[in-house]
């Protein structure tokens, strides 16, 4: 009899792991709380570093699911261990007994309105990175109204003790540079500024993206964190930052301010972890067995983790982890 596997979270990690485990002949239940699969990827337009469209990536992930039983609009009501197996019950009324569980609960975007001083939700022309993707995907956002002066603020809800998030969110720098280029391409007359604390362009092709942003798109990079935003009568925004490289306070008027909201532990993941008594780190992300060989394993036998549930990850990282988890789960189920 084929063994059952429950995967909680239908984002890229969950879908990739489902596809692999399905191909290995297991019965996979993929649990997703939203109406559709895809997680944040489904809400993204293009991906860094090359600007590849997100749609086909998503389509291929969905296309590989095979016989995976996808349970949409399903909240996890309970998850507990029964001897060596796990029992999950869902809001849809379904309840499943499984031999292994994989948590791919991903991340939540930082609520940008928490950074009071940036005026998200207060001022008319302040948006987030997710809003920009939405704008490019659907083409409409009244807040993005042919802006001629655009600013992107890195590290909103990342590397910020005050917002309760010390961690770097890893993807925002590259996303900001990508979006800066895209906005410049969309509004060719616009001047685009990136306000950064440190530019962390660590991945393959990222530095090329940075170079292209400077050379081809003429993005102005300012090393300084925006500290205050005020709105004028005409709804333009006045930004205060320090150009730390020239040690001078700086002001600039903008028509659009984009906040690069960082990655926070997902509420759903935290909830599920509590049910199964899986520890979370000081940063709130789920704890895996260790950061090296035990990256996909947890302290609970049969319970595995992959993707941004254990900390900010890029999409390739996430997919690689999902594959690693699939192989580890296979090994675990063969032994038991």
Partner 1 sequence: MIDFGFYLTPSSTIDLDKVDRKAVDDLARADSGIRTCIACGSCTASCTAGVFADTSVRQAILSVLNGRNEKARELLSSCMLCGKCMMVCPRGINTRHLILSIQKYFDGQ
Partner 2 sequence: MTPFYILQTDVPEVIDRIPGAYDHFILPYCAGIIFCLCWLGVGLVRVIANLSSSDRKALLLSFVNPVLIWKNLKDIFCDCLLHTKIWKRKPLLGFMHSAIAFGWFLLIVLGHLEVWLFAPRHLYLDNGSLFYPIFYRYFIWMNPGHTTLRGSLFFFLMDLCLLYVLAGIGLAIFKRFRSRLLGMKHTTKPSLMDRVALYSLWGIFPFRLLAESFTADLAGGSFLTLPANALLRFLFGDNLHFMPWWWAYSIVLGLFFVSLPFSRYMHILTEPLLILLRNAGIKVRHPRKGYAEAEIYACSSCGLCLDACPMNVQKKNLRFSSVYFIRFLRRHNEKKVNRIADKCLQCGKCLALCPVGVDSPAIRRRQRAAYNDRLAFDYSALKAPVPGGVSGAPVAGGGTPAPAGGKVMYFAGCMSHLTPRIIKAVLEVFRKAGEDFVFADENGGLCCGRPLLLAGKDRAAKTVIEANRKMIMESGCTTLVLSCPICLKVFKEEYKLQGIEVLHYTEYMDRLVAEGRLTLRKGEGSFVYHDPCELGRGCGIYDAPRRLVEGVGQLCKAEKEGDESVCCGGSLGSLTLSYDDRKRITAGALDNLLVNHPDRIVTACPLCLKTFSDASSDVPVVDIAELVAESTARV
Enumerate binding residues for partner 1 (CB under 8 A).
117, 155, 159-162, 197-198, 223-228, 240-244, 247, 249-250
> In the bound complex, what is the minimum distance in angstroms from residue 240's beta carbon to partner 2?
9
Which of the listed partners (partner 2, partner 1, none) does 225 bind, with a CB threshold of 5 to 8 Å by partner kind?
partner 1
Q: Is 247 in the site for partner 2 (CB under 8 A)?
A: no
Distances (CA, A) of 229 to 148, 183, 184, 237, 248: 17, 21, 22, 6, 17
d(CA 63, CA 58): 8
- The conformation of residue 105, written as its DSSP 8-state character, comes to -
Which of the listed partners (partner 1, partner 2, none) does 164 bind, with a CB threshold of 5 to 8 Å by partner kind?
partner 2
Q: Is 163 in the site for partner 2 (CB under 8 A)?
A: yes
229, 260, 263, 273: residue in contact with partner 2 (rule CB under 8 A): 229
Choice between 50 and 198, CB closer to partner 1: 198
Distances (CA, A) of 116 to 49, 88, 152, 266: 31, 39, 17, 22
> In the bound complex, what is the minimum distance in angstroms from residue 244's beta carbon to partner 1?
4
Q: Is 124 in the site for partner 2 (CB under 8 A)?
A: no
DSSP string of 46-78? EETTTTEEHHHHHHHHHHTTTT-EEE-S--EEE
In degrees and rounded to multiples of 5, residue 273 shows phi and psi of: -60, -40
Tell me the window of 24-32, 155-163, 272-280, 298-306 that interacts with partner 2 (CB under 8 A): 155-163
Task: Tell me the residue ranges of DSSP E strands in the chain.
Answer: 4-8, 27-31, 46-47, 52-53, 69-71, 76-82, 85-90, 95-98, 100-103, 107-109, 126-128, 149-156, 191-196, 220-223, 228-231, 237-243, 248-254, 256-261, 263-265, 303-305
Which of the listed partners (partner 1, partner 2, none) does 278 bind, with a CB threshold of 5 to 8 Å by partner kind?
none
Which of the listed partners (partner 2, partner 1, none) does 242 bind, with a CB threshold of 5 to 8 Å by partner kind?
partner 1
> In the bound complex, what is the minimum distance in angstroms from residue 116's beta carbon to partner 2?
5
Choice between 186 and 223, CB closer to partner 1: 223
Which of the listed partners (partner 2, partner 1, none) does 122 bind, with a CB threshold of 5 to 8 Å by partner kind?
partner 2
208, 216, 228, 331: residue in contact with partner 2 (rule CB under 8 A): 228
> In the bound complex, what is the minimum distance in angstroms from residue 189's beta carbon to partner 2?
26
Q: Please, which residues bridge with residue 242 across strands?
A: 249
- Residues in 276-315 at the binding interface with partner 2, rule: CB under 8 A: none
34, 50, 59, 117: residue in contact with partner 2 (rule CB under 8 A): 117
Cα 299 to chain center, whole Å? 25
> In the bound complex, what is the minimum distance in angstroms from residue 258's beta carbon to partner 2?
17
Residues contacting residue 198 through CB under 8 Å, at least 6 positions apart: none
Choice between 155 and 219, CB closer to partner 2: 155
> In the bound complex, what is the minimum distance in angstroms from residue 317's beta carbon to partner 1?
25
Choice between 106 and 262, CB closer to partner 1: 262
Residues contacting residue 152 through CB under 8 Å, at least 6 positions apart: 176, 179, 180, 192, 193, 194, 195, 257, 258, 260
In degrees and rounded to multiples of 5, residue 7 shows phi and psi of: -120, 120
**HSE (side-chain half, CA atoms, 13 Å) at 132:** 31
Which of the listed partners (partner 2, partner 1, none) does 13 bind, with a CB threshold of 5 to 8 Å by partner kind?
none
* Residues binding partner 2 (CB under 8 A): 114, 116-117, 119, 122-123, 161-164, 228-231, 251
């Amino acid at each position: 009899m084929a063994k059952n596997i429950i995967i909680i979270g239908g984002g890229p990690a969950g879908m990739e792991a489902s596809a692999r485990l399905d191909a290995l002949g297991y019965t996979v239940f993929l649990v997703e709380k939203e109406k559709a699969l895809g997680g944040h990827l489904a809400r993204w337009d293009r991906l860094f570093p090359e600007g590849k469209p997100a749609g086909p990536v998503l389509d291929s992930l969905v296309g590989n699911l095979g016989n995976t039983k996808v349970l949409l609009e399903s909240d996890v009501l309970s998850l507990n261990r029964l001897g060596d197996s796990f029992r999950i019950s869902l809001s849809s009324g379904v309840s499943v007994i499984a031999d292994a569980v994989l948590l791919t609960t991903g991340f939540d975007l930082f609520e940008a309105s928490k950074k009071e001083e940036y005026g998200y939700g207060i001022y008319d022309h302040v948006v987030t990175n997710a809003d920009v993707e939405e704008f490019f995907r659907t083409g409409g956002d009244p807040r993005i109204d042919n802006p001629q002066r655009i600013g992107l603020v890195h590290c909103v809800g990342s590397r910020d003790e005050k917002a309760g998030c010390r961690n770097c969110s890893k993807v925002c720098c590259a996303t900001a540079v990508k979006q800066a280029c895209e906005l410049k391409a969309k509004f060719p007359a616009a001047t685009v500024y990136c306000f950064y604390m440190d530019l962390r362009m660590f991945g393959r092709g990222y530095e090329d993206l940075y170079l292209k942003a400077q050379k081809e798109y003429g993005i102005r990079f300012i090393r300084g964190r925006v500290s205050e935003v005020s709105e004028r009568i005409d709804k333009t925004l006045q930004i205060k930052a320090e150009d730390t490289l020239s040690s001078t306070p700086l002001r600039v008027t903008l028509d659009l301010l984009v906040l690069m909201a960082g990655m926070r532990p997902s509420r759903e993941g935290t909830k599920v972890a509590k049910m199964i008594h899986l520890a979370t780190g000081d940063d709130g992300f789920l704890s895996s067995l260790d950061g090296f060989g035990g990256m996909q394993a947890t302290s609970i036998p049969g319970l595995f983790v992959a993707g941004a549930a254990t900390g900010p990850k890029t999409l390739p990282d996430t997919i690689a982890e999902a594959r690693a988890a699939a192989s580890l789960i296979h090994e675990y189920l063969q032994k038991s």
